[in-house]
């Protein structure tokens, strides 16, 4: 974990958060 360079860590965090947003917004169970 400590070896993950900060730029990659931040990019990864953004990617995972946006991916979750996309999934939730296209889910048939989404309000």
Partner 1 sequence: PAHSQANEDTLQQRLQALIECARESWTYAVFWQLSYDFAAGEDDGGGNSSNTPLLAWGDGYYKGEEEKPMKKKPTPISAAEQEHRKRVVRELNSLISGGGGGTVNGGDEAGDEEVTDTEWFFLVSMTQSFINGSGLPGQAFSNSQTIWLSGSNALAGSSCERARQGQVYGLETMVCIPTENGVVELGSSEIIHQNSDLMDKVNSFFNPSNGG
Q: Where do contacts with partner 1 occur on this chain (CB under 8 A)?
A: 1, 4-5, 7-20, 22-24, 27
Residue 7 or 31: the one with the smaller Cβ distance to partner 1 is 7
SS3 18: helix
Q: How far is the CB of 31 from partner 1 (least distance, A)?
A: 14
Q: Give the end-to-end CA distance of the chain in Å, rounded to a whole number.
A: 36
In angstroms, give the least distance from the CB of 19 to partner 1.
5
Question: In the chain, what's the furthest Cα-to-Cα distance?
Answer: 39
């Amino acid at each position: 974990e400590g070896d993950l360079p900060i730029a990659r860590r931040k990019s990864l965090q953004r990617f995972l958060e946006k991916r979750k947003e996309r999934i939730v917004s296209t889910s048939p169970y989404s309000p």
